[in-house]
Structure formats: C-alpha cells, structure tokens
Amino acid sequence: MLAALAVVACGGGDADGDSKRKFLGATELCEGAFSVEGAVALRVVTGAELFYPSPEGEGVSAVATDLEHDFLRREPSSPEHTLCSVYRKGGNDFTDARLRFSLAGKYELDNSDLASSQHPYAMGKLATAGVKRSYLYFECVSPRLPGSAESPALIGGEISDRHPPDKDSRPLWEASLTTLHSAALALAKELGCARDGGLPPKATLVPVSR
C-alpha cells in the first residue's frame, strides 16, 4: 500500500515523468466511484481534468469489504477507510482530495452545533457541505450486513479538499458534496443496500435550515 502511494505521489510536477505516464479521467478512478455527474464535480473541486491512477487497495469494493468486516465485529463505529485518494496531473506529493467512509454512531447525526463553514442539505440521513470538507451519512440494510434489517448500518462519508479557497463558495461546496454523493452511491450499490441506502440517483442540492 505504501509503495503504491509512493509510486503515485512521486513524479508530481515532473514534466519528463508525466510525459511517460498514463493519466486517467475522473470516471476511471477508484473502481468507478464517480459517475459523470460526480466526475464533473471532482474536476471543479480539484481544478484538474486528468489524474494519476488510484493507489492500490483503494476503491469501492475494498471499502465495502472493510465495512462488512467492521459491521460483523459489532463495533459502535469503525476506523475510516480511504475509498479514493485523488492526485491531479501536475500536482505534488500530496493528495488533492481524499474520500473516506466508516461506520458511524447515531450521535454523529446531531448537527445542532454545526460549524458556520458547513451548509446542511436534504440528502441521506445527514449531509453538510463545505469548501474544505463535506459529509454525507446514509443507512444501509443489506444481506452483506447480517442484522442490519433490525438495526441498519449508519455509514458516514467525508471528502476533504487540500486547496480550498479563502472564502466560502457555494458552487465549490456543492461540487464537493456532489463528488461525495457519487462515491457514496457507488458504495451503497456495491454493498447491496436496500433502495441504495436512501440516496437519490443524482445529488439533490436542496439547502435546509440549521
């Protein structure tokens, strides 16, 4: 895993190295985590059209398996699992965006003390968007998660952006949430969540009051 990350990270900004590498479009990253809509949004978030290949061990199926194992352990929450580390062409050794998912506790749905930089939206169990980070929670009932019919698994997702602007930008924070929704929907489908975990086919960007 570390070796794969090093291969991906090294060469960022190296014109000679870049000329010999195969770069991918956003829809090709992380086992198809990004739909066309999600890919367009990711380009807004990163400002890039092409990306380094995904690090080994990341992707939709790997995170689905990790969450399946976490749920079987009956832990109230789980470690965060990286679904996608995004490195844009011409970038440096640091990720430009990262998407993580984990089992979440019900207490995480309390947004009564929401930071001013976070903007709530009507999607999933809870969705908040920001230019630096966005979050999306959904419930999953699936045969892959024994007992979830009685007690659905609450899954939380986060996207972080390394290059947020200094000021809030609604187009950017909505692009961030749209990117996260795309990956969350792909994960819900991979897990076999009933009704796709309650997530809409496309991101619904309807703000709600705090």
Number of H helices, E strands in the chain: 5, 6
Q: If you ran DSSP here, which 8-state letter would residue 93 be given?
A: S
Identify the residue with better confidence: 17 or 46. Answer: 46
Q: CA-based angle 191:181:79, to the nearest 5?
A: 60
Predicted pLDDT at 5: 30
Helix (H) or strand (E) holding 140: strand 133-140
For residue 19, name the pLDDT band (cuts at 50, 70, 90): low
Q: How far is 116 from 210, CA to CA, in rounded Å? A: 10
β-sheet bridge partners, residue 123: none
The two tokens of residue 50 are 């092409």
pLDDT at 49 over 90: yes
What's the whole-model pTM score?
0.88
Averaged pLDDT score across all residues of the chain:
88
Does 1 have pLDDT greater than 70?
no
pLDDT for the residue 2: 28
Of 39-53, 135-149, 162-176, the poorest mean pLDDT is in 162-176
Provide the CB-side half-sphere exposure for 77 (13 A, CA). Answer: 12
Please check the confidence at residue 10 and state whether its pLDDT lies above 60. no
Read off the pLDDT band of 21 (50, 70, 90).
low
